[in-house]
Every structure is written in C-alpha cells, then in structure tokens.
Chains A and B, each alone.
Chain A
Amino acid sequence: MRVDVIGLGKSYGKKRAVDDVSFSLHPGRLTGFLGPNGSGKSTTMRLMLGLDAGEGRTEWDGQQFKDLPTPPRAVGAHLDAKAFNPKRNVREHLWMQAAACGVGRARVDEVIETVGLGSVATQAPGGFSLGMAQRFGLATALLAEPEVLMLDEPANGLDPQSIQWLREFLRAYAHSGRTVFVSSHLLAEMQLMADHLIVIGKGTVLADDSVSNFLARQGTSDVLVRVPDPTALMTALTPAGLQASFEGSDGLVVMGASTEQVGLIAHQGGQPVRELVSRTPSLEKAFMDLTREAEEYAGKEMAS
C-alpha cells in the first residue's frame, strides 16, 4: 500500500508543531522517521491516522484512512508503549482486537508466539517491562498482518537481542512487500534497519532520501592515518592536492583520499604507518549536522 502524506500541518496555540509536511511511503521499503525531541514526529503520525485534527491529508492507496473497508487490515500502528488495560491478559486483549479485523484465535496465538510472549499469554500485562510492553504493542499492530506498519519508537526499552530481532523482523516484513514506517532515536540502529529516511526538524521535512544518498549528501568520508611525524606527512600530502587536519599527537585526517593513496605517500616519506583507516560518515553525524539548527530542546555542552 502506498501512503501519500500531503501538506500536513498542526499548531498548538502559537507554536507550529507540524508545518506543510509531505512525503510518500512505498511498499517493500522500511522508511525511518528521524527528528530531534519535539520535532513533530509523533504529531505527524497522529495526523496521518486522523487521531489529531489538522491541515492536509493522508491518502492510503488514494483513500482516506476512515474510508478504508477494514482499517486494521490496512494499517497496524503502535504509538504508545504502555497503552493497555493492565488487568486484561495478553490473549484476551488480542482476542478483543481480533474482533475489529476479523481474525480468529489461531492468528492470535500465532502473533503471540511471533513476538515472543507465548510464556506470558495468560498473564495480565500490568507488570510488564517496557521491552515486553513494546512486544505486546507490536503484537497488536501485527494482528491483522496489515499492509502498512507504523511504529513510534518501537525499540525503546528493548535489550540488544530484542533490538536485533526487531530489526530483522521489520526488514523481512518490509521486504515481503509491505510498507513499514518507524520512528526512532536509535540512529545506529536506523542506519542498519532503514532503506529510506525522512528527517524532520521544527515541524518541517529536512530530508527525504535513501539512507545511502542521505549519508553521501550529509557527510564526507575521510581517512585517518597515524604516523610518527604527522607534520612531515602533511607536507608530503600537499603536492598531491590533498587536504588534511591534525587529530591527536600523531594523527592526520585526510579528506577526499583513499587509504591506498595516503598509505603510499606515507611509505614514500619513509614513515611507518601505525594506523590507516577509512572512515565513512555515520548516520548519527549526518543527522546531527542536519538537525543542529532544528533542535528544539538542546542541553548545554559540558565544559572540558
């Protein structure tokens, strides 16, 4: 199912939380939704689902959400980690949800096993950890095997093994032809998980691109080399048209060069190479660079 978000907007008093946000989500693709705290991610998701009133519209294969014949079969959403009655057990909760999408008890049991809650299926979720609550929410969203899966910070509270499981599960879900839209603060995780990124800051879309293009556009790769005499190496790099800067007592960061080039120049200068590594830009760095100006709640830097 293709999702077209067209000109979404929302104000809270004088504050413009979401301003003319437009993007598209495509089947077979896991789209990450990134933005600093207060950037409008959750509000955008709520607007898409018609939970909040605002400007613009979202089309689900050309239809309004409320006009879809069986909405839970089209869209499974998990927006709040602990949104359940703590006294209603897991199976009863899902059985209740099953009524809305017309699935049977077999599917309820299947989805409980899928998210790994089989051993607590008859337990009330009041005492669940955040990680278990996330799995429970994911089970609710997955119940009708929806064409679109929307998850707001699903990895919060998960341990490393669970995060790895979630990543593999969501990638497989997307690559089976479904549309997956995930917001997260875990940038390294998103770099491994997402095919496409939408970055939002102060309520506006800052980037809408594939992960590889986003990294290529936002960051530049460089080469770190450590040698006994970095000043001499700096002098040797200049005739080759390479720019470098010092890093630490014995390091140089060379821009726009390959490790082979830098290694050869160091060798020609007779310097033993202690370290030579190509550094590709991380999503975290690219994200920080892009959203620095759009950060709503920035803390003070620690004085060194």
Chain B
Amino acid sequence: MKLALPPAFIYEWRRSRSTRSTIWLLALIVASAISTGVNELANGTEEGFLSGAVGHVSAAGPVAAILGAMAIGTEFRWNTIRQLFITFPRRYVILTAKIGVIAGLVAAASLLGSVVGTAFGVVSGDAVGSIPDWLGLSLRGMLVLIGWAVIAFGLAGLGKSTIVGVAVPIAVAFLVEVALLQVAPDGLLTAVLPFVNASEALSVQVPAGEAFEHLAVFWAWVLLSLGACMFVLGRRDA
C-alpha cells in the first residue's frame, strides 16, 4: 500500500529538498557529532557511550535554529508568503507541514549524530551504560534539537525574518541565560529558563525522570513560540 501524504507535506518536502542550504545544514548537524567525537578522541572522555548520544546537540542547536527559521523566514525574504497562502488558504495546514518536515529532517540528522557520536565515544571513552539510558538521551537530544528548530521557526514567523528567528534564541541561550545564571544561580527564574533546562535534559548525570521534566520546561517555551506564531500568522495580513 502506498502511503499518501497530504499535499502540504509533499510541497514542503520538495521545497526543503530543492534548497541546497537544507542539505548543508543537515550535514553540519552530523558534522557536529564528528567534531565532538574527534575532540573526545584527542582529549579522552569518561562516559563515551552515553555522552556520545548527545555530544553533538550543543553545537548543532544553532544549526537546527537556522533550519527552522529558514523554513518560514525565506517565505518573507523572497516575498513568496502570499503565493504560499493562496496555494494553502488554510494557513495552519502549511505551517504544520513546515514544522513536520523540519522536525523530521532534524530528527533524522540528530539520530545519525547520536550514532556517530556514540561510535567515537566508545572508542575514546568506555562502553558503560544501558541501552535504555542511551535511547532516552538520544530521544532527549533529538527533541532538544527539534525544539531549537521550532522556537526559531516561531520567532522567524513572528518577526517575518530568518535573522530574528536565528539571532534571538542564540542570544537568549548564550548571552541572556548565562548572565541570569551568574546573577541568580539558584532562583526560580533560572528554573524556568528554556535553554538551561534543555542543557539539564541532556546531562548524563541527571536521572532520566528529572531530565524529562527539564525537557518539558524547554518544550513549554517551544510550544509557546509555535502557538504565538500560528496564532499571528493565521490572522495577519499577508
């Protein structure tokens, strides 16, 4: 039986595939795993098997953000948003398809990154750790990367700009949250910061249950960004 995908998903799949930067950015996610692995080979690691599952995520997060932001930002940049909404007048259908395709691509690249990273990790560190723990870390790594992409998509949609979608999450993750952590390291504020929680969700030392709670906090921000984008793009004049 042939699987019939909705036209919006086929459209978005063809759009992504015909953009060379998509291929390069996905390759960069996998390259992040290779780079981290080579670094571990050079310097050694204590938890090669488990840390290899998520070693690529920190570096690949901004790359996933670029992918997510470009999925909607380029529609504004090239003035194709009107044609898009004429083709798909039920806007949430194409927006959902865009999220779905980007999520699928990032998930596949992340999984490949986990496998590659683990291979390097086992060689450079050890093979200690259970398969369920590895799967849990890989899943959380994948969801964090998808989260980066979706947050960037939402912000790019709200700001009608790829640059907004990429710059804002990077600035929050690497500047704003770092500063806040220094000012109030144990405050309530830091407990709800998105990227601090994403980082905790990927820690090998954090128990799986607690790690998924951190992931849930991160995803609350992801869904907030996506919901705001859907709401605004669904109503705003194109």
* Residue in B74, B79, B82, B90 whose beta carbon sits within 8 Å of that of A51 in the complex: B82
Are A49 and B78 neighbours in the complex by a CB distance under 8 Å? Answer: no
Known contacts A51-B237, A53-B237, A87 near B83 by CB under 8 Å: no
Known contacts A49-B89, A51-B238, A87-B20, A96 near B79 by CB under 8 Å: no
How many B residues face the partner with a CB closer than 8 A? 25
Residue in chain B with minimal CB distance to A92: B18
List residues of A (222-256) whose CB comes within 8 Å of B's CBs: none
Asked if A204 is at the interface of the complex by the 8 Å CB criterion, the answer is: no
Are B11 and A96 neighbours in the complex by a CB distance under 8 Å? Answer: yes
* Residue in B15, B74, B88, B237 whose beta carbon sits within 8 Å of that of A96 in the complex: B15
Could you tell me the distance in whole angstroms from the C-beta of B72 to the nearest C-beta in chain A?
Answer: 13
Known contacts A52-B237, A96-B14, A84 near B86 by CB under 8 Å: no
Are A97 and B87 neighbours in the complex by a CB distance under 8 Å? Answer: yes
Contacts of B78 in A (CB 8 A): 83-86
Residue in chain B with minimal CB distance to A85: B78
Contacts of A77 in B (CB 8 A): 83, 86
Contacts of A99 in B (CB 8 A): 7, 10-11, 13-14
Q: How far apart are the CA atoms of A89 and B18 in the complex, in Å? A: 9
Residue in chain B with minimal CB distance to A47: B237
Contacts of A71 in B (CB 8 A): 86-89
The 0/1 profile, CB within 8 Å of B marked 1, for residues 25-54 of chain A is 000000000000000000000100111110
Are B79 and A83 neighbours in the complex by a CB distance under 8 Å? Answer: yes
Asked if A181 is at the interface of the complex by the 8 Å CB criterion, the answer is: no
Q: How far apart are the CA atoms of A269 and B8 in the complex, in Å? A: 78
Asked if A2 is at the interface of the complex by the 8 Å CB criterion, the answer is: no
Known contacts A83-B78, A85-B74, A88-B18, A46 near B238 by CB under 8 Å: yes
Contacts of B15 in A (CB 8 A): 96
Could you tell me the distance in whole angstroms from the C-beta of B94 to the nearest C-beta in chain A?
Answer: 9
Asked if A100 is at the interface of the complex by the 8 Å CB criterion, the answer is: yes
Could you tell me the distance in whole angstroms from the C-beta of B90 to the nearest C-beta in chain A?
Answer: 5
Are B88 and A80 neighbours in the complex by a CB distance under 8 Å? Answer: no
Contacts of B83 in A (CB 8 A): 77, 79-80, 83, 140
Contacts of B7 in A (CB 8 A): 99-102
Are B19 and A46 neighbours in the complex by a CB distance under 8 Å? Answer: no
Contacts of B13 in A (CB 8 A): 99
Q: How far apart are the CA atoms of A88 and B237 in the complex, in Å? A: 26
Asked if A95 is at the interface of the complex by the 8 Å CB criterion, the answer is: yes
Are A85 and B19 neighbours in the complex by a CB distance under 8 Å? Answer: yes
Are B82 and A66 neighbours in the complex by a CB distance under 8 Å? Answer: no
Contacts of A86 in B (CB 8 A): 78
* Residue in A65, A72, A96 whose beta carbon sits within 8 Å of that of B18 in the complex: A96
Are A83 and B80 neighbours in the complex by a CB distance under 8 Å? Answer: yes
Could you tell me the distance in whole angstroms from the C-beta of B27 to the nearest C-beta in chain A?
Answer: 18
Name the residue in A72, A89, A100 with the highest tally of chain B Cβ atoms < 10 Å from its Cβ. A100
Could you tell me the distance in whole angstroms from the C-beta of B23 to the nearest C-beta in chain A?
Answer: 13
Q: How far apart are the CA atoms of A231 and B74 in the complex, in Å? A: 70
Asked if B235 is at the interface of the complex by the 8 Å CB criterion, the answer is: yes
Residue in chain B with minimal CB distance to A12: B237
Asked if A82 is at the interface of the complex by the 8 Å CB criterion, the answer is: yes
The 0/1 profile, CB within 8 Å of A marked 1, for residues 196-218 of chain B is 00000000000000000000000
Asked if B221 is at the interface of the complex by the 8 Å CB criterion, the answer is: no
Known contacts A51-B237, A85-B78, A65 near B10 by CB under 8 Å: no
Known: A83-B79, A99-B10. 17 other contacts (CB 8 A): A49-B89, A51-B85, A51-B238, A71-B87, A75-B86, A80-B82, A83-B82, A83-B83, A85-B80, A87-B19, A95-B14, A95-B18, A96-B15, A97-B11, A100-B7, A100-B8, A100-B87
A and B contact pairs by CB, cutoff 8 A, 9 listed: A46-B238, A66-B89, A68-B89, A83-B78, A92-B18, A95-B14, A96-B11, A99-B11, A99-B14
Q: Which 5 A-B pairs have the closest CB atoms?
A: A66-B89, A99-B10, A99-B11, A51-B238, A92-B18
